[in-house]
């Protein structure tokens, strides 16, 4: 009898109101929906990077074509500007290639009766797409910063 009086409840029961339960269920539904749409979102992000790279490559070629003759005077007179153009091209082309790799169709194992393997396959798919989109975005950003530097160096020549 004495032992029963000294027992301390470790777990404190939490009662939720119907509004709290509804809010919790609503959040679960939202996150489940986000997770199911994640591959589509990552594919769209990769396509967006490809479109932006294409646009900025057109800007780069426009900047190069500003000179009346080829190669433009700024590329001949300033050899480091050649390296900027090469760096921009490399960043943009790599970003485009990685973006295209992210949306490239693949075969995936379905593992209908092994949920652990199916979950591992899902995680592998999402991880690969995230990594590709992240690196494509980083390369696109780097190329854009270098392009901005090239444009500034053309506008304000350092003498």
**Angle, CA of 32, 35 and 38, to the nearest 5°:** 150
Which band of pLDDT confidence, cut at 50, 70 and 90, is reported for residue 74? low
Going from the C-alpha of 47 to that of each of 97, 107, 140, the distances in angstroms are 11, 20, 13
Nearest to 57 by CA among 90, 95, 89: 89
Compute the average pLDDT of residues 115-144: 89
Going from the C-alpha of 60 to that of each of 23, 73, 77, 144, 148, the distances in angstroms are 50, 15, 18, 10, 10
What is the separation, in whole angstroms, between the first and last Cα of the chain?
A: 95
- What CA–CA distance (Å, rounded) separates 59 from 158? 22
pLDDT in tens, 13-44: 667 788 878 888 887 888 788 788 888 888 88
Which band of pLDDT confidence, cut at 50, 70 and 90, is reported for residue 98? very high
How much of the chain exceeds pLDDT 70, in percent?
A: 79
Provide the Cα torsion 94, 95, 96, 99; round to 10°. 120
pLDDT at 130 (0 to 100): 92
The larger pLDDT score, comparing residue 66 to residue 61, is at: 61
pLDDT at 157 (0 to 100): 66
pTM above 0.85, yes or no: no
């Amino acid at each position: 009898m004495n032992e029963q009086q000294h027992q301390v409840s470790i777990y404190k029961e939490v009662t939720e109101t119907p509004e709290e339960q509804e809010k919790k269920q609503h959040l679960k539904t939202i996150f489940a929906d986000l997770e199911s749409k994640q591959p589509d979102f990552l594919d769209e992000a990769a396509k967006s990077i490809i479109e932006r790279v294409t646009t900025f490559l057109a800007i780069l070629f426009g900047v190069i074509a500003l000179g009346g003759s080829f190669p433009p005077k700024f590329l001949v007179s300033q050899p480091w500007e050649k390296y900027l153009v090469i760096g921009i091209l490399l960043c943009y082309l790599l970003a485009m290639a990685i973006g295209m790799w992210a949306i490239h169709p693949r075969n995936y194992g379905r593992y209908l009766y092994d949920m652990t393997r199916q979950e591992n396959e899902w995680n592998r798919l999402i991880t690969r797409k995230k990594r590709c989109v992240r690196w494509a975005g980083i390369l696109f950003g780097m190329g854009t910063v270098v392009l901005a530097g090239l444009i500034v160096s053309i506008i304000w020549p350092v003498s």
